[in-house]
Structure 1
């Protein structure tokens, strides 16, 4: 269902502010189920099968308990983000650049809507970050703030959607949060893969140096593109935002960008260290 207020501006501006999905009121149950599934995957698949079977004992015995937890978390996060990309790509693109709305059927004749899929994806996204906060031994203050912010934003967007009668910008905030989430998932997927390779090929300093420089570059490019897209959409929908979101949204974007830039800085330092080790190794040989 569209608002035919004109054909100018992004398609998002033409959406009707209404309940995003009929399953939105059950989002707490969906979150609980997603958390239980993720716990089962970690305990019975990763810990018992994937980690011990796919990696050599030499790799695992050199890891401290904290490093092993981080190693497992990178698998959980990478797998979750790949799943989110696959599941969410079509619904989000259909709404942003196509002619879909949250109430458009996911496929012809299906009772599942694009909004249903987005609600489930939002809860998987939330559980992924909750898992990391509780499972990892150490996490930087910036990463902690980023994860907490992502969780609160995702859940607030759903809550606003349910209370759309009193939140005039609920549907726009919900979709904007997904755009944030998309860039967040894309920007952070490669770092997880890079850290897995780092733990399994820690003697290949030349490879790791190139890998970390590439990761740093992807983080910087991703943050730049994200800022352009999000701020363009934010400005295009300026008249539709409430005063509180006009104030909060730039701050939240700064928080996300700071976390990504911090990640780029970390990978830059790792790349320099691996480059130095590679040069020293070449001299010694």
Structure 2
């Protein structure tokens, strides 16, 4: 048997669904960013949260298809009454993948003691655009990485270094620092530890952290990891080895990207590439 609370949530979601349908129809008529205030309330457990200790955005992702995507969101800004700041509005921003187009709607916030609150709103924007509230990304899409791959060594085998690779019809090729690649190219990162007299050395990498370019700000790809050495008494191969690790980063939208690779026990490495 459904409780009154469950029935109420179902009714609210039904009303929201009807609102979304009419909003999508309005959006499809040429509006690049659709923002509508909502008068209902929803349980907190339905929301995801992003932000900092002083600024937080709570959101529900309603849908995403090839053309558009929709969110319900709200936000708060910690702003004590004693501060000199007087701005109480929030900017809802939709930014294109190449950072060249931006659509903005400004919504007035309301004072709630030491907080400025953004009321519950419905937002619909193009599927490939990134949604911001002020400077906070609501949901940053990340390319699906293919994980570790087995490829030949393209960098210097004698010393620790990194190489960026792209897939070709016949295999892979290394790209030079600052070289331009296509949005259709799949980018790979290869980390080379150098050559050692025995086996037992290995590289482990964490999931890449990717920030996309926005306007004139370049993108940044950060990869961390650890280089492990054999311990005393370990049984290892008695032959020269060159530990490497190659991972797929994926395809990227247009812009310049800085790549920072920080491997514990091995060092920090940097390079850049451009996507046209």
TM-score normalised to the size of structure 2? 0.22
Structure with greater proportional strand content: 2
TM-score normalised to the size of structure 1? 0.22
Q: Greater relative contact order: 1 or 2 (C-alpha under 8 angstroms, separation 6 or more)?
A: 1
Structure with greater proportional helix content: 1
